[in-house]
């Protein structure tokens, strides 16, 4: 092999490693992303030379073949590499490091924007996102659907730039977006739901979906200090927000209270792929934090009549049926109710599904031995009638078990990632928390417990589950900041008895 005719990847690596002027070899691209390489993937390799190198390998800079692409740079040049190349280096694999870990440290630094750099990048991409969103909604309003769809597709790139910059990370290339988010989720965002929303908006230009997504982005951006960028849009922000939602949804006090019907319409937009991603036992938090506590509190449900109030797509109903409970699941949205019914037809577990608003329950027959309401009440605007209906559905002595986001630690993961600790500046008042598809509602713990007392219930237990350190250790590589769940509770689970 000569400098003019490099061979395949492995022989070249051996040849370069034998050259004393080579201080580092760094593999980027598909072969550096586990599971992404195909038979057609070449090897993209950085050859890092000492600054005073005289090796003939310098002549290979820019070499390209079906098997091997080479970039030959000095150590100083390698330190400076950024821009479009930054993500490629952030996830690159160090093949050779002759500098006692310095090459690895340079590569690791590519994956973390400094605070000022990240803030400036987020501000610029946020403004560009707002601009494309505004144009998309305006074109759709003015009868130019193709223009609106193209602008919507453009806006998704700026959105991703913004979200990754807010997390102080370079945006991945589109090819690696799913790979990146599966292993390194954006704090506070449900990966499957976010990807489904981006795909739907890019494909259809759905205005309602764009507006709902913007409410979440607006909240996150303002919390990160980007209010001035958004406020510069003035009254045009109204066009970007959901219709009849002129007041910013990030504002703490709620004046014009949303209705249950409006909330149900929002939750009805959850796509099927997001429901499928929750099979068979919910997401990470439900599997490791919520479900074990719910099931322990419910105890042996064999032969007992159990109401799954706000059952969603029915995963918990199916888990209870597997434990031989006689389950009735109530769900108001067409999409999730339809999914649950479809699963029951396939599995034939004997679960009875009823489509209804929890606040307006129909006659469900005999009283229930237990009612479980998991991660529902914080999503219901007019929640007190829903809790009342759950309690009234019980027989005397029956058990009511519910879980909600812990009112003191709702934004735990995102604030931990940003600050290394949990931070909050609002607790006592009620306010909205925009999500990808719909909205949750913050209420203090006392609101839930006092309502239970007013309904004639006796508190049995209040649990604040923490994550097993061993599970956190296994998940740390794919979910930075997950150790926060070991130290602080993101969820609250309550068991009460109807007297």
Q: What is the pLDDT along the chain (499 residues), one digit of tens a residue?
A: 445 567 689 999 999 999 999 999 999 999 999 889 998 999 999 999 999 999 999 999 999 998 999 999 999 999 999 888 999 999 999 999 999 999 999 999 998 898 889 999 999 999 999 999 999 999 999 999 999 999 999 999 999 999 999 999 999 999 999 999 888 888 878 888 889 899 999 999 999 999 999 998 998 898 888 989 999 999 999 999 986 443 333 333 343 457 888 889 889 888 888 899 899 999 999 999 999 999 999 999 999 999 999 999 999 999 999 999 999 999 999 999 999 999 999 999 999 999 999 988 899 999 999 999 999 999 999 999 999 999 999 999 999 999 999 999 998 887 787 778 888 878 998 888 877 778 899 999 999 999 999 999 999 999 999 999 999 999 888 888 899 999 999 999 999 999 9
How far apart (Å, rounded) are the C-alpha atoms in residues 481 and 146?
Answer: 41
Q: What is the DSSP letter of 5?
A: B
Give me the pLDDT at residue 3, please.
52
The gap from C-alpha 47 to its chain's centroid, in whole angstroms, comes to: 37
Long-range contacts from 320-323, C-beta under 8 angstroms, 24+ separation: 320/372, 321/349, 321/350, 321/351, 322/349, 323/295
Q: What is the DSSP letter of 287?
A: I
Strands 22-28 and 93-97, by their bridges, are antiparallel
pTM greater than the 0.85 cutoff: no
DSSP-based three-state secondary structure for 385: helix
Q: Is 96 exposed, middle or buried (0-12, 13-18, 19+ CB in 10 A)?
A: middle
Domain ranges of the chain: 9-110, 115-251, 273-498
Distances (CA, A) of 436 to 135, 196, 335, 451, 467: 21, 10, 16, 29, 25
Distances (CA, A) of 258 to 8, 270, 379: 63, 19, 11
CATH class of 9-110: alpha beta
Give me the pLDDT at residue 413, please.
83
Give me the pLDDT at residue 253, please.
39
> What fold does the segment set 273-498 form as a domain?
Rossmann fold (3.40.50)
Give me the pLDDT at residue 257, please.
58
Residues 6+ apart with CB under 8 A from 457: 391, 400, 496, 497, 498, 499
Instruction: State the Rg of the chain over Cα.
Output: 26
DSSP-based three-state secondary structure for 26: strand
DSSP-based three-state secondary structure for 220: helix
């Amino acid at each position: 092999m000569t400098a003019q005719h490099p061979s395949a990847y492995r022989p070249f690596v051996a040849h370069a490693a034998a050259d004393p002027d080579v201080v580092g070899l760094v593999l980027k691209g598909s072969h550096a992303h586990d599971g992404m390489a195909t038979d057609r993937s070449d090897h993209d390799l950085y050859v890092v030379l000492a600054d005073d190198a005289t090796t003939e390998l310098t002549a290979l800079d820019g070499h390209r073949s079906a098997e091997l692409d080479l970039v030959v740079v000095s150590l100083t040049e390698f330190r400076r590499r950024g821009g479009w190349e930054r993500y490629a280096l952030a996830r690159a694999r160090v093949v050779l490091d002759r500098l006692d870990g310095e090459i690895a440290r340079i590569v690791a630094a590519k994956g973390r924007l400094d605070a000022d750099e990240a803030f400036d990048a987020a501000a610029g991409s946020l403004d560009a996102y707002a601009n494309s969103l505004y144009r998309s909604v305006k074109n759709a309003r003015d009868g130019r659907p193709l223009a609106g769809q193209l602008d919507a597709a453009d806006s998704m790139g700026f959105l991703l730039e913004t979200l990754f910059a807010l997390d102080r990370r370079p945006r991945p290339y589109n090819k690696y977006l799913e790979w990146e988010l599966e292993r390194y989720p954006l704090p506070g965002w449900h990966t499957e739901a976010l990807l489904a929303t981006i795909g739907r908006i890019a494909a259809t230009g759905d205005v309602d979906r764009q507006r709902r997504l913007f409410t979440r982005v607006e909240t996150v951006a303002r919390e990160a200090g980007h209010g001035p960028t958004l406020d510069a849009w003035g009254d045009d922000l109204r066009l970007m927000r959901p219709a009849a939602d002129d007041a910013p949804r990030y504002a703490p006090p709620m004046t014009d209270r949303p209705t249950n019907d409006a909330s149900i319409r929002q939750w009805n937009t959850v796509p099927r792929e997001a429901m499928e991603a929750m099979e068979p036992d919910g997401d990470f938090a439900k599997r490791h934090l919520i479900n074990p506590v719910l099931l322990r509190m419910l105890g042996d449900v064999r032969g007992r009549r159990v109401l799954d109030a706000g059952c969603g797509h029915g995963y918990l109903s199916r888990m209870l049926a597997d434990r031989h409970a006689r389950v009735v699941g109530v769900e108001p949205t067409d999409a999730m109710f339809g999914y649950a019914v479809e699963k029951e037809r396939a599995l034939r577990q004997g679960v009875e599904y009823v489509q209804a608003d929890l606040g307006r329950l129909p006659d469900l027959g005999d009283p229930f031995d237990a009612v479980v309401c998991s991660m529902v009440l914080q999503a219901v605007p007019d929640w007190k009638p829903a809790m009342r209906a759950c309690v009234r559905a019980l027989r005397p002595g029956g058990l009511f078990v519910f879980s909600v986001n812990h009112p003191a630690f709702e934004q735990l993961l995102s604030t931990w990632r940003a600050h290394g600790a949990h931070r909050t500046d609002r607790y006592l008042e009620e306010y909205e928390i925009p999500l990808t598809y719909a909205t949750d509602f913050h209420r203090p713990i006392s609101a839930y417990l006092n309502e239970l007392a007013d309904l004639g219930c006796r508190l049995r237990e209040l649990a604040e589950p923490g994550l097993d350190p061993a599970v956190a250790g296994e998940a740390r590589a794919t979910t930075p900041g997950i150790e926060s769940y070991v130290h602080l509770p993101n969820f609250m689970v309550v068991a009460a008895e109807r007297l």
